[in-house]
Structure 1
Amino acid sequence: MAAYNGSANSVLEMVKDVVSFLTDPANFDEGKEWALVSPVSAVEIDTVQEVILKGVGDGDDEIYIGLKIAAAAGGQVNLVLNGYAGYDAGLGWREQPGGVSQSVLPTLPLVEDTYMSYWVSANSSRVILVVEMSTQYESAYLGLMKPIAIENQYPYPLVVGGSYYEGGAWTDTGAGHSSFVCPGADANTSLRLRRPDGSWRVGKNQTLGDLCVWPTNVSPVNTLTVFDDVLTMENVIMYPFFLYENNPVGLVGQLDGIYWVGNRQDLATKDSIIYDGKVYKVFNNVHRRDNDSYFAIEWF
């Protein structure tokens, strides 16, 4: 388990730094670092502008995630996100086995040649990335969730989540520009889940989607936010983010290492919470500052 806070002046620089951090054996338990599958060498990232990484999970897993830098209009640069069930050197970044089936993928909408701070929280099964641009925070989740099932019932519970989807502008303040912890209601959203049959489900607002997130995609969302009328850093409330389906109905799993935050009035983005000896970093959902718009990631 590892965490890192860095800065970069371009999306390419950030991606190379994140890959370097994830593939460094010094940052993980022995044999638990991520492996760069494609390209073969990190120096080639400058040319291909895309990467595929493999995690080992508990040690015997093969967890494939992808990042691709794609230029968009107006100086925007999307960090496009994907996940796969395997790797074939003869196939392109989008065509890898078991990749996200929808043609429009989750992204982090960023801006080229601008200063960015970023935070990475990773273990051998998943990677959480938060990027700060000015006063907004774009976030991503790539890797396994914790399924509410035994392993042979849900052998590869892969999640790919961003804070927007391809085609959206980083300046957009609409409901669609929203983190994977609270996906919107558009035809495409920021969240994808690979189901046991290998199909990919799009996370949406509870009234319109088969896949939703608790507690943010429920109504009302302001559930039990205050237990103590004296608000301090120590009495914030953290709920796990659960993924649930409407068709069929039921909980399917929990996002790993990320929690919804209540009692947020005394919190600010980038604050730290210490609970049971563990540190969590607090962020908000893109530009939002509402009571239900804060989350915390494990900071090892």
Structure 2
Amino acid sequence: MAYEIGTATDYKDLLAKLKTFVTTNAALVAAGQQWTVMRHTAPASGDHELILRGPGLAGADQIYVGIKTEAVSNGGRNWQLNGFTGYDSPASFEAQPGGLAANLPRLLLLDAGMPYWFFANGRRIIVVARASTTYQIAYLGFIMPYGPPAGLPYPMFVGGCACTASVWSDSLLRSNAPFFCARNDAPSSSIRPTSSSGYFMTAGWKCLIEKQYYYNNWYANFELFVLPHSGLVTTSTGYKMLALLRPNVDNSFPLIPMTLCASGTARNVYGEFDGMFGLPGIGVAAEDIVTISGQNFLVFSGGALTGRNNFVAIRMD
């Protein structure tokens, strides 16, 4: 997995830098895992669009993801995130094959300078950008599925840190939370909700839930969540799995693979987010590097959330 650390001048420059990274990074090119640009529009005024095709790890896949910039009246300068099953040149961003037509996950960014961290291989792209005091995190591409390819032939996941056209400073956490602690507006079905910061493609798009309750009917109605950040609730004020963990006795950190799960009538464990791990937010801060068995991991908190249960570690290769 290749990575890059830098600073962008604004949200549109961040998109241009991501394009350059995933198409020309030396490590990606050497491995035959560089992405192909299917569309890149960058007008002097108006929104920019980027649609990419990833080759997978062995050059045998065609993985389509897209990003579109967004300027909203409340001052938000954002990215809209999408995933597709193919590419149709005449079609609009929202009308690409298999894509989300509305209610797209977002990153809430700035029309100003932002430090960034990019991580990529041929299967997926991870973006982290520091927008003021928040860490905006995106995952675009395939998860690592459990089971044979026939079970999940196109394990596409699209996740960001927001579910509405908002601004980074929005205090409503439903609108400013990462996909691994996803918020939504409690629709009656997990399929095509009003809004969610994360979606997985399995027999259509399904959303991630806010938290995994065990004591009311949300358990049956909502299906997808991410362990260890959601799920395994023990009290009505809970979601305490990571919050209750501590560093190991040797002061190293327990890293738990972030795993996409389903509850209710569709109980399942779909697979892992490639290179992303949960860890307890105790004795660690965003942008720290922790080393486990000689491997380095960059630590971030998600979106506007900074609690013990809201930290991730991303593998640096």
1:7 is matched with: 7
Deviation of 1:182 after TM superposition, in Å, equals 1.1
Aligned match of 1:251: 269
Aligned to 1:200: 205
Q: Which residue of 1 aligns with 2:19?
A: 19
Matched with 2:177 is: 178
Find the counterpart in structure 2 of residue 55 from structure 1. 54
> Are 1:167 and 2:165 matched, yes or no?
yes
Match of 2:227 among 199, 206, 214: 214
Moved over 3 A (4+): 227-230
TM-score of the superposition, structure 2-length normalised?
0.86
Q: Deviations over 1:57-101 (max 9, x none)?
A: 031100000010111113311100000000111211111111125
SS in 1 for 2:14: helix
> What is the identity, as a one-letter code, of the residue corresponding to 1:211?
L
CA 1:261–1:99: 2 relative to 1, 3 Å: same
Moved more, 203-212 or 273-282: 203-212
Deviations 1:236-266 (A, max 9, x none): 111111111123112112111100012x321
Deviation of 1:287 (Å): 2.6
Match of residue 225 from structure 1: 245
Q: Does the 8 A contact of 1:78 with 1:166 survive in 2?
A: no
Within the alignment, does 1:272 sit opposite 2:289 as a pair? yes
- Conserved 8 A contact 2:119-2:125: yes
Shift of 1:227: 5.8
Q: Which runs of 5+ in 2 are unaligned?
A: 186-193
1:211 and 1:245 in contact (8 A); partners too: yes
Aligned equivalents of 2:78, 2:23: Cα separation in 1: 23
8 Å Cα contact 1:107-1:165 kept in structure 2: yes
1:34 alignment counterpart: 35
| Cα distance between partner residues in 2 of 1:145 and 1:240 | 12
- C-alpha distance in 2 between matches for 1:97 and 1:67: 15
Structure 1: state its 5+ residue gaps.
Answer: none
Name the TM-score, length of structure 1 as normaliser.
Answer: 0.91
**Structure with more strand by fraction:** 1
1:76 aligns with 76
Q: Name the structure 2 match of 1:188.
A: 195
- Output the CA distance in 1 between the equivalents of 2:291 and 2:205: 35
Q: 2 CA distance for matches of 1:249 and 1:241?
A: 17
Letter aligned with residue 107 of structure 1: R
Q: Tell which deviates more after alignment, 9-18 or 217-226.
A: 217-226
SS in 2 for 1:237: coil
Aligned partners of 2:134 and 2:168 also within 8 Å: no
Q: Give the whole-Å Cα distance in 1 for the aligned partners of 2:239 and 2:290.
A: 22
Q: Please state how far the C-alpha of 1:55 moved relative to its aligned partner.
A: 0.4
